[in-house]
A and B are shown apart, each in its own frame.
Chain A
C-alpha cells in the first residue's frame, strides 16, 4: 500500500497557551548521544519532562528509526509519523516539505502532545522495507531540523533530541540544532569508545559543547572507570536503577512510574547543569 493513500487525520493547530517564564534563558538545544543501550532514550525522555515541569516549552525530537523515545516520554507512538502529512511528493523528484511550512508550523501541527506539555517530533520508524514507506517524514524531518535555528519563536524553547546509536547522525547532519551534546556512557570499553568518537565530532566540526554523563553506574568505582576509559571528566552520573527496567517492561515513563527514583533525581541534577550552561553560552 502506498503511504500516500494512508489517511492521516489533519491535526488541529495547537494553541500555544502556556505562559513563557519571565526568567532569562538561553536556547537549551540539546542532542543526547552515545552507544546503543547506554540509556539515551530514558535520559532524553525524562530530561524533556523535567525541563517542561520547570516551565520551559519543550520539543522532544525522536530521530531514531528504531523504537525509542515515545514510551520514555509517556506517550503512545503514532502508527504513521505525523510528519508524513507535512510532506508532498512532486511528480518528479523526492519527497519535500510542503511549501510555506516552517519549523514552527511543524511543531504546532505535526508533533505529538506528550505529558507536561512536551511536543514530540518523530522521524518515521523503519520496517522490513527500511524507511521507504515513511520517506516523506524523513525528508520533512530533515527540512525542519536544518532550518530550526532560523525559527525566532523557537529561541526560547528547550529542544531535546534523542539520537540513534553511535556517531552517524551527528556526522550526517541530523542534529544541526544541538548546541550541547549530552554524551551517555556506560562503564564499558565499547561505550566509552563510542562516547569519545561522538564527542570528537560534536566539539570539532559541529562546534558544540559536550556534557559527559556516566550511565548505569553502581558505585563510585564505576564512575571512575568511565572517566578513565573516556579520559574525560564526567559531570553527572545516572545510577543503575531497577525502576528504569520496571518502567521499560511496562512501557511507561520512569518519571510517571517512579517519580521519586534515583534516576529522576539524577536527571534533575543534569537539568541544573544544562540550564546553567545554556545561559552562559547564549
Chain B
C-alpha cells in the first residue's frame, strides 16, 4: 500500500466514529486524505478520487462498475432467444421471434433484432449474455424479489445493498464514489456508506448559493450550520450533496454529448454518467434504472408492442454510452439485472406472467464476449419457468473480482463459489 491516505483501524470503528460525531465516514476520510494529498501532490484534491487512487494503490483493477436494473422483470427469452430449443416456438405461437430474424446467432441462441445497435460490441467481443440466471429459489413478487436481489445477503436481516458493501470495500474517498442515476434510492446502494445521486448534471447544485465551490458562501454556511446536528433522515444526503456539488461544477464544464443518445430516461441517464466519468471525480460504482419491463400484456411481436420499443431504447442507449466513453470505455463495465424472468408460455394477451430465470448482459471492460450459461431446457406447461442454473451472484462476483479488486466474499456473504467465465482473467 502506497496510498498517502491513512487507513482507519477497521471500517467498523470508522462507521461508529461517523455516527458518533455526525461526520460521514467519507467526509472524515476526505478531510484526512486531502491534507495528506495536498502534501504529496499539491492542491489537486479534485483529481484524487476512488477509481484513480485504487489504481495507484495497485489493488487490482481500477474499473468502474455500472449496474443497469431492468425494472419490472424483463423477458430474457425475448432478448436472448433460445431458437435451438423447440419448446420456445411451441410455447409462444404469437410472440416468439422468428429464428431467421435473430442477430449474432449461434446454433442455439440469437439476439432480439432490436439489439442491432449492440452488434458491433458483440462482434468486438465486449458483450456477453449469461442465460438462465437468477435467484436460487423463485420469488415472483416484484417488490420482495428486488429487495432480495439487491441486498444479495440472504443470511442477514440488515438492509444493506451489495453495492454499498462494495463501496465499503473499495479504496477512495470521493463523495461521488457511489452514484445513483434515475431511481430515488435503489436498495442496492442502501447502507452505511454515503452515496450520491442526481437526476441530471444541471440539477446537481445547491440552489441559492452564488458559488458551488466556496464554503463561505452565505447559503453554504447556513446549510452547513443547520444540517450539522439533526436526526433528519435527509441529513446524510444533504451533506453528500454539499460535498459533491463543487466537483460536479467541474464536471459540467466537459462537453454535453447527450444528443448522441436516445431522448429517453435511460439515454439521458447514461449520458450524464458518461459526462461525470469523463470528469474524473472518483466515481467507482453507478446504478441506473430503466423501468417498464413488466409485460403481462402487449409484449408483442417484431411489428408492435412494448418489447420492441423497450429493447430498442435499451440497445441504442447502451451503444451510445460506450461510443461516448471513447478511451474511457476500457475502464467501464456495465452489467444488467432484472428482479426475475417471465414464464415460458405466453398468455392470452400477448404477454407473460411472472417467472423465474432470466438473462444478464455484460458489456465493456474485461468482458469475454459470447453466450454463457447452462441451458436447462424449456417445458411447455401453463406455469413453466426458465429454470435457474446460474446464481446471479456468480456473475456479479466475477465482475467484482476481475474489475474492482474487492473481495467477492465480503460483497456477497455466503455467495456461490462457482464462476461463469464471462470475464477475462487478464
Tell whether A and B belong to one assembly. no
**Interface, chain B (partner A; CB < 8 A):** none
**Interface, chain A (partner B; CB < 8 A):** none
